[in-house]
A and B are shown apart, each in its own frame.
Chain A
Amino acid sequence: MDKLFPKSYKQETKPHLFCPGCGHAAILKQLGEAIDELGVQKNMALGIDIGCSLLAWNFFDIDTAQTHHGRTASVMVGYKMARPERLAVAYMGDGGAYAIGLQSLLHAVLRNEPITVIVVNNENYSMTGGQKSPTTRKSAEGGDLRGFKGPEMISHLAAKNAWVGRGSVGNPRQLRVLFKKALANQMENKSFSFLEVLSICPVNWKTDAAASFERLKEMEKIYSLGEIKIDDEKN
């Protein structure tokens, strides 16, 4: 049988701690594949937040640091200052990145800090039981479906040579390519990279597999996937 996991996984910690059908696990799998393909496993550090992302504390065979809620971007900025030759990746939930940690994120963007920030958008605060977060679409039951467009916002603030994109667990192959770009940008351009990933949360959404992916399809209609162009006029 061929391999089931990316090489960068810590095999002995599997089955991992994430819930059945968790989008985080599917996303980390593609991140692992991207890390394998770029061969950067031994040359990077992963920062994880409070929230379900912290369940990845022993997920990879990679140096991993767990931070206070919303501070992952700042911690990884500090790490990068100390170890500029290594890749610094901050991985967090939408609550961490867009609510309590928004200021940390924005300053990393504005200063064009050479780190890669990954934000998993599952439209709620998962770890604490599915409360509404900034990304919960207004009136999800119908009517106005406004959501929080993190990558678009950042594309207006980021430096010319920054990289911004959005992927989805609904498209794992594209996600892997986007991860590679987000990591490569940090190495090649020494600039800020940002990737939001649309995700599913079957446990808190109270949806089965099929209904989870249906809701994800709705999200994909509202939020565009792929690389998002930097609007550099104002920079």
Chain B
Amino acid sequence: MMKKTKIIIVGMGGQGVQTIAKILALTAAQKGLEVSYIPQFGVEQRGTPSVAFITLDSKKVNYPLFDIADWAVVLHPRAIAEAVKYVDKKTKTIFDSSLMGVEKINKKPVDIFGLPAVKLATENFSSRLANLIVLGQVSRILELPFELAWKNTAETLEKKLKNETARKASRDALLLGYENLLEKKSFSKPDYRPKAGTIIFDGDGKQGFLISEHCKSCGICVAKCPIGAIKMGHNTGVFASPLPEIDIAKCSVCGTCSLFCPDGAIKTERKK
């Protein structure tokens, strides 16, 4: 028998909040639990807060909404406001301690845990996989079997996991989260700072500029560069996603990246 468990997950659109929620809901249902999952996000779908409400119970879930969550998962400092309404002292709270300090969560729950998901993902794989680390962690907390969670992850993300490397990295990220032991520390400062300002790539009489506050990591510059001089790097931008890097020695300053970039975030030029 499982006690009724109410979970709220908040983050910024594009971070994978709804992916986490969907896979959790599927896995819990396959384990035989009654599940309700309600997604809530703005019309933009990306870049604004995204919220998932999940209720798990061994009895039928009659009403899907709730006032106070048993677990709150906070993936981005800009989405905290969405969670606080549903958090009280007893809500066990997990937050991405790589992106925010604990003081950002204003109503202090007693049990608050830092999970540096973006940092772990960036150091081990790519920041894109931070959501799978969180999914792994929450799956263990809810006592969902790892292999079942992985099966649903692989099926849900099938299109993105066509090549073996991507598949393996995703499984490893999920496992890293699953095996991570939650700690209670002071977590007073974020231990990972997104890149801010303009990143300059300099060399060979050429310069490349990347405005990290504008780049949304769409990858168009990477796909469009005719000589493959741009790839996704290890820096994380303000949208908690990887920023492209220009191999300036290779760059022919053709201007294709800035022509196609929808966000005016990249530019290359010859030094004057």
Name A's B-contacting residues (CB within 8 A).
1-2, 4-5, 9, 14-26, 29, 55, 127, 129, 172-173, 202-204, 206, 208-210, 213
B44 within 8 A of A: yes
- The answer to whether B258 and A4 have CB atoms under 8 Å apart is yes
- Can you list 18 contacts pairing A with B, beta carbon distance less than 8 Å? A1-B198, A1-B209, A1-B267, A15-B214, A15-B216, A19-B14, A19-B46, A19-B47, A20-B218, A20-B239, A23-B262, A127-B43, A129-B45, A203-B46, A206-B159, A208-B219, A209-B220, A210-B223
User: B residues 82-118 with Cβ under 8 Å of A?
Assistant: none
Chain B residue nearest to A1 (CB atoms) is B209
Query: In whole angstroms, what is the CA distance A203 to B46 when docked?
Result: 8
Q: Which residue of B217, B239, B267 contacts A4 across the interface (Cβ within 8 Å)?
A: B267
Chain B residue nearest to A51 (CB atoms) is B43
Name B's A-contacting residues (CB within 8 A).
13-14, 43-48, 159-160, 198, 207, 209, 211, 213-214, 216-220, 222-224, 239, 241, 258-265, 267, 269
The answer to whether residues A4 and B264 also contact, given A19-B47, A203-B46 and a CB cut-off of 8 A, is yes
User: In the complex, which residues of chain A have a beta carbon less than 8 angstroms from the beta carbon of B46?
Assistant: 19-20, 203
- The answer to whether B220 and A21 have CB atoms under 8 Å apart is yes
The answer to whether residues A55 and B44 also contact, given A29-B262, A172-B259, A172-B260 and a CB cut-off of 8 A, is yes
Q: Which residue of A1, A20, A22, A172 contacts B217 across the interface (Cβ within 8 Å)?
A: A20
Chain B residue nearest to A11 (CB atoms) is B264
In the complex, what's the smallest C-beta–C-beta distance from A220 to chain B, in angstroms? Answer: 15
Chain A residue nearest to B264 (CB atoms) is A4
In the complex, what's the smallest C-beta–C-beta distance from A82 to chain B, in angstroms? Answer: 30
Query: In whole angstroms, what is the CA distance A175 to B13 when docked?
Result: 30
- The answer to whether B219 and A14 have CB atoms under 8 Å apart is no
The answer to whether residues A173 and B267 also contact, given A15-B216, A20-B216 and a CB cut-off of 8 A, is no
Q: Which residue of A9, A172, A209 contacts B218 across the interface (Cβ within 8 Å)?
A: A209
Other A-B contacts than A9-B264, A17-B47, A19-B45, 18 sampled, CB-CB below 8 A, are: A1-B267, A15-B47, A15-B214, A18-B44, A19-B44, A20-B239, A26-B262, A55-B43, A55-B44, A172-B259, A173-B259, A202-B218, A206-B159, A208-B160, A209-B220, A209-B223, A213-B220, A213-B224
Query: In whole angstroms, what is the CA distance A209 to B260 when docked?
Result: 11
The answer to whether residues A203 and B45 also contact, given A208-B219, A209-B219 and a CB cut-off of 8 A, is yes
- The answer to whether A17 and B44 have CB atoms under 8 Å apart is yes
User: In the complex, which residues of chain B have a beta carbon less than 8 angstroms from the beta carbon of A21?
Assistant: 216, 218-220, 262
User: In the complex, which residues of chain A have a beta carbon less than 8 angstroms from the beta carbon of B224?
Assistant: 209, 213
Query: In whole angstroms, what is the CA distance A17 to B219 when docked?
Result: 17
- The answer to whether B214 and A22 have CB atoms under 8 Å apart is no
In the complex, what's the smallest C-beta–C-beta distance from B169 to chain A, in angstroms? Answer: 15
Query: In whole angstroms, what is the CA distance A203 to B13 when docked?
Result: 11
User: In the complex, which residues of chain A have a beta carbon less than 8 angstroms from the beta carbon of B209?
Assistant: 1
In the complex, what's the smallest C-beta–C-beta distance from B39 to chain A, in angstroms? Answer: 10
Query: In whole angstroms, what is the CA distance A20 to B222 when docked?
Result: 13
- The answer to whether B267 and A2 have CB atoms under 8 Å apart is yes
User: In the complex, which residues of chain B have a beta carbon less than 8 angstroms from the beta carbon of A55?
Assistant: 43-44
Q: Which residue of B13, B259, B260, B269 contacts A1 across the interface (Cβ within 8 Å)?
A: B269
In the complex, what's the smallest C-beta–C-beta distance from A205 to chain B, in angstroms? Answer: 11
User: In the complex, which residues of chain B have a beta carbon less than 8 angstroms from the beta carbon of A129?
Assistant: 45
The answer to whether residues A209 and B264 also contact, given A4-B211, A203-B45 and a CB cut-off of 8 A, is no
Query: In whole angstroms, what is the CA distance A213 to B263 when docked?
Result: 17
Chain B residue nearest to A17 (CB atoms) is B44
Query: In whole angstroms, what is the CA distance A20 to B220 when docked?
Result: 9
User: In the complex, which residues of chain B have a beta carbon less than 8 angstroms from the beta carbon of A4?
Assistant: 211, 214, 258, 264-265, 267
Query: In whole angstroms, what is the CA distance A208 to B47 when docked?
Result: 17
- The answer to whether A16 and B222 have CB atoms under 8 Å apart is no
Chain A residue nearest to B241 (CB atoms) is A20
Chain B residue nearest to A26 (CB atoms) is B262
- The answer to whether B14 and A14 have CB atoms under 8 Å apart is no
User: In the complex, which residues of chain B have a beta carbon less than 8 angstroms from the beta carbon of A9?
Assistant: 264
Chain B residue nearest to A15 (CB atoms) is B214
User: In the complex, which residues of chain A have a beta carbon less than 8 angstroms from the beta carbon of B13?
Assistant: 19
